[in-house]
Structure 1
Amino acid sequence: MQALETTALVAVIGAGAMGAGIAQVAAQAGHPVKLYDNRPGAAAQAVEGIDRQLGKLVEKGKLAAEQRSAIVARLQPVEAIETLADARLVIEAIVENLEVKHGLLRQLEEICAADCILASNTSSLSITTLAASLKHPERVIGMHFFNPAPIMALVEVVSGLATDPALAKALHATSKNWGKQPVYTRSTPGFIVNRVARPFYAESLRLLQEGAADCASLDALLRDAGGFRMGAFELTDLIGHDVNYAVTCSVFDAYYGDFRFQPSLIQKELVDAGRFGRKTGRGFYDYSEGAERPQAAELTSATDVASCVVEGDLGVAQPLVQRLKDAGVPVIQRAGSGLLRVGDAVLALSDGRLASQRAKEDGLRNLVLFDLALDYTKASRLAISWSADTTAEARDQAVALLQRAGLKVTALADLPGLAVLRTVAMLANEAADAVLQGVGSAADIDLAMRAGVNYPRGPLAWAEAIGIGYVLNTLDNLQRSYGEERYRPSLLLRRKHAEGSRFHD
């Protein structure tokens, strides 16, 4: 099947923020749209709200007045579900309740023509289960938009067990025509984004629980070193802890208690206290009027740096050497195993081991570990930790060297993997398992994470950039440190490393 013609009527059920946004997207693409809600007057109010939003775009010069009028003219609020009988595509965006959605889909099957596509915008419910009670389950599919739908590019096209493959192709092509970036995925818990994103929240929550640093410092590291738009704590405050925690619990339960998805007791406590984040005025941060936002912790040093020694290749952190040279630090190169020395300090990129463990195993005194960065030439902050025998003088020398490179330095407790490295390794691990289990292709999973949650790089492309073997070694070390299944490496990571192949070959 090809994409729906723009003459095809699209119906949207549910006039809340998501339903109204989807209706706007379809109308902007040229379709006539009927918007229905079982609350009297809600659909008409939603169309008025869309008109106001489009008016703001006109005022900013981002939309012509004629285009605004044409889009609104294509939007028709209706008060009876029976008026949707002539729709070619119906997208439901109602409450996330299985029984309620079941009832609606059964009703639509009786009302709409046999060739009408029945799509659900569910973010967590099984498309297979939603379709199972229908006479023709092959016509049911997931079309998961992200909020706000007019702005967010991603659409997950979700096939249930009975979904006609031709429908998936049609909605994939239709989503492209609507200006979106669609991906194919199977109906598995969390689909792509809500599954693969779990480690982004989970690792920061665990580091907080284990006393690695405070929220502001961990958020700053993910932003300033990892290149993410927001850190985990500010993002969950924005999403709402009631929503984010519920999704985590849903995925955890759906995977029969797999500890990779274990919910956080810290987040549960916020939910129990009613501290849902921005919408309640309090979450990890205080959003009340006049409240001061805490700042990230930062180490400083007045120690003078005369020169440094680079032993061997620093791997993914090699650009840091050029940054030091550009800052005027004399750099002496010699053979070695990938270490950076300044004064008495030995600096090394984390590999998932504790600093004290690595110092003992590798025979290194005054060891200071530093974290992964998305781009060492542009990062503005870097995390460090150090072994128990590292002197204050050696630590200061390491801080001074990184300061010379223009980096703010944030200390973490001696925990394996630091902040960015363990987060990226776990994201890549989950993405690899999703590919292994046929949830989506490597290309679609990377696209989903970039377009759906604005990651600076797809997790699998990131793993390739820093080395699949390096990611695998980090996960092995994390698993040994914690002794938990949570950090078990994906079989696909092991296979790719053993083959010497890539995800995107």
Structure 2
Amino acid sequence: MMAALDTAVAVGVVGAGAMGGGIAQVAAAAGHPVVLFDAREGAAEQAVTKLRGVFATLAAKGRMSAEAAEAAGSRLSAAATLAALAPAGLVVEAVVEDLAVKQGLFRDLEALVADGAILATNTSSLSVTAIGAALARPGRLAGLHFFNPAPLMPLVEVVSGLGTDAAVAETLFDTAKAWGKTPVHAASTPGFIVNRVARPYYAEAIRLLEEGAADSATIDALFREAGGFRMGPFELMDMIGHDVNFAVTRSVWSAFFHDPRFTPSLTQQELVAAGFLGRKSGRGFYDYREGAARPAARTADGPAPARITLHGTCAMAASLAARLDAQGVAFARADADDGRVATVDGVAVFVTDGRTAAERAVALGTPAVAVVDTAFDPATAGRLAFATAHSCPAGGGEAVAGLLAAAGIAPTPVADSPGLVVMRTVAMLANEAADAVHRGVCAASSADTAMRLGTNYPRGPLAWADALGVATVAEVLGNLAAFYGEDRYRLSPFLRLRAITGRGCHD
């Protein structure tokens, strides 16, 4: 049975920047002696002084005792040379994302540390297999990918390259857990779990913007108020920095041999070329300069409908019924054999299945059709996207807006786009997570854990697919693929098989 490294084992950290310093803080707080080295003169000493101040501040705020803070600070030391890390039983590097630099560093470390010492890379984008290939004993190296800021973010991806010994990965997993983190195992593939699975969150939003479906403020509001995400994709990209986000997307796309699922955006490329990098430069998708006004999300007005009929028992229909009841709004009940959730002033309303409202109208042979988006929790969603077919009679959009407003939901009109906003993005996130599982990158539970803790998603993508119904997600993706004619929306075999057999992603 594997076990975490004993706290008597010294931990070496190479790189005294924000990430390296954060890792050193975590290890010292967990009880390990920590030796910090940086090639920049004086950087390690400055980092140790800063970290001791951090511990003192935590004690002052009551987040740790004064004794614990003093002890953690005393366990930190700065190394003047790399050779000072020789006694370490674990060395974690957090240096520049350059393969040659990391390979050279680990070759030097291998010659210094004991045979039983473990070497770990905090790389977020490079192949752990390629880094380990520079070693005489690649089995002793694995990825130990923390997320920034390391002391606060709970997730750690423990990444195994082709040469990584299973015992080394298990020891790192148990050690990260002993340090108070939530580790997940991942294989060394581009983006590991989080940076791979998260790509559609940005890509689908940018595509919707490029196609004129809605503006960035409206799309962001829909992700927050309907999807339950803490930040919308545009404000998140602005916070990360477009240079960083675009570089990660390009890296994953290139590493997957230009798979269209990861194709970078020309819009984001233009932002980078202009120097509009987001918050740090003052401009991105939003303007952060002094005096700039933040645009508001679009919200429609609609009069109270003259007649509302609800159909079926799906989550959306049930939630609309409960919310209308709570608002004292009268409605009728009836059955419909075409899957609609409501009929409002003659307009048939469907939850999107990946088809546009226009496609639904043609299939039904009636012009009065609208589609609404999905939501993390329809019972509490504060906003919902909807679109009407171009053939919908005048007043149809107002009728749907009136229905949503009557239920206490901010009605948000978007252009008639396949899958609307939240549904198409959740389907793509689930598809990417499913493909990672299908290709042996991680377990289904690890994919969900990684996305909840590494990106603060309200629900793991595969758990979300189970909540919507795997067959529904497969149908949405199939309709997106048919509409666009692109391999970008191809269905993962993992989801396809479960849709056929009626199994959930976690079965």
- Mapping of 1:39-438 within 5 angstroms? 39-301=40-302, 303-315=303-315, 318-336=318-336, 337-339=338-340, 340-438=342-440
Question: 1:316–1:466: 8 Å Cα contact kept in structure 2?
Answer: no
- Secondary structure of the 1:49 match is helix
Q: Using the alignment, how far apart are the partners of 1:138 and 1:305 within structure 2?
A: 67
> CA–CA distance in 2 between the matches of 1:338 and 1:60?
55
8 Å Cα contact 2:344-2:400 kept in structure 1? yes
Distance, in Å, in 1 between the alignment partners of 2:207 and 2:292 is 26
Secondary structure at the residue paired with 2:119? strand
Partners of 2:368 and 2:391 within 8 A in 1? yes
Deviations 1:98-150 (A, max 9, x none): 00001000000001111110000000100110011211010010000000000
Tell whether the 8 Å contact from 1:146 to 1:154 is kept in structure 2 after alignment. yes
Secondary structure of the corresponding residue to residue 71 of structure 1: helix
State the distance in 2 between where 1:63 and 1:392 align: 63
Amino acid at match of 1:343: D
Name the SS of the counterpart of 2:425 in structure 1.
helix
* Alignment match of 2:458 (pick from 453, 456, 459): 456
The alpha-carbon deviation at position 65 of structure 1 amounts to 2.1
- Structure 1 segments (4+ residues) deviating >4 Å: none
Offset at residue 306 of structure 1 (A): 4.4
Question: In the alignment, is the contact (CA less than 8 A) between 2:465 and 2:505 conserved in 1?
Answer: no
State the AA in 1 paired with 2:474.
Answer: L
CA distance in structure 1 between the partners assigned to 2:261 and 2:315 by the alignment: 28
Distance 1:411 1:277 in 2: 27
Mapped to 1, the partners of 2:416 and 2:486 lie a distance apart of 18
Q: Displacement, 1:85?
A: 0.4
Q: Distance in 1 between matches of 2:51 and 2:388?
A: 54
Shift of 1:317: 5.1
Shift of 1:421: 0.3
Residues 5-27 of structure 1, C-alpha deviations (whole Å, 9 max, x = no match): 11110110000000000000001
Task: Give the drift of 1:49.
Answer: 1.9
The structure-2 alpha-carbon separation of the partners of 1:51 and 1:399, relative to structure 1 and needing over 3 Å to count, comes to: same
Aligned to 1:341, the other structure's residue is in SS state strand
SS in 2 for 1:279: coil
Partners of 1:314 and 1:349 within 8 A in 2: no
SS in 2 for 1:200: helix
Does the aligned pair in 2 maintain the 1:310–1:338 contact within 8 Å? no
Counterpart Cα distance in 2 of 1:227 and 1:387: 27
Amino acid at match of 1:468: V
Give the Cα separation in 2 of the matches to 1:79 and 1:237.
38
Cα distance per residue 1:243-286 (max 9 Å; x no partner): 11001001101111100000000000001111111111111111
* Equivalent residues of 2:427, 2:476 under 8 A apart: yes
Deviations 1:338-372 (A, max 9, x none): 32011122211011111111111122332111101
User: What residue number does 1:440 align with?
Assistant: 442
Q: How many Å apart are 1:66 and its aligned residue?
A: 2.1
- Contact 2:278–2:285 at 8 Å: present in 1 too? yes
| Mapped contact 2:311–2:317 kept (Cα < 8 A) | no
TM-superposed deviation, 1:325: 1.9
C-alpha separation in 2, matches of 1:126 and 1:364? 54
Please point out which of 476, 482, 502 is paired with 1:500. Answer: 502
Q: Which amino acid aligns with 2:499?
A: H
One-letter amino acid of the structure 2 residue matched with residue 136 of structure 1: R
Q: Which amino acid aligns with 1:411?
A: P
Q: Which amino acid aligns with 1:15?
A: A
- One-letter amino acid matched to 1:367: V
Q: Which deviates more, 48-57 or 273-282? A: 48-57
CA distance in structure 2 between the partners assigned to 1:211 and 1:98 by the alignment: 40
Cα distance, 1:154 vs structure 2: 0.4
Aligned-residue offset at 1:59: 3.3
Give how far 1:3 is off: 0.6
- Paired with 2:312 and 2:319, the residues of 1 have a C-alpha distance of 13
- In 2, distance between residues paired with 1:363 and 1:70? 74
The Cα of 1:500 is off from its aligned counterpart by 1.4
What is the CA-CA distance between 1:161 and the residue it aligns to? 0.3
Q: Which runs of 5+ in 2 are unaligned?
A: none
Which AA in structure 2 matches 1:396? E
Partners of 2:366 and 2:194 in 1: CA distance: 41
Aligned residue number for residue 470 of structure 1 = 472
C-alpha separation in 2, matches of 1:95 and 1:321: 55
Taking the aligned partners of 1:420 and 1:486, their CA distance within structure 2 comes to 17
Structure 1 residue 316 displacement after superposition: 5.3
How far apart, CA to CA, are the structure 2 residues paired with 1:27 and 1:307?
A: 65
1:480 to 476, 479, 482: 482
Question: Which whole-Å CA distance do the structure 1 matches of 2:201 and 2:317 have between them?
Answer: 22
Tell me the alpha carbon deviations over residues 137-188 of structure 1, each in whole angstroms, 9 at most, x when there is no partner.
1001000000000000000000000100001111111111101000000000
- Secondary structure of the residue aligned to 2:280 is helix
CA RMSD of aligned residues (A): 1.2
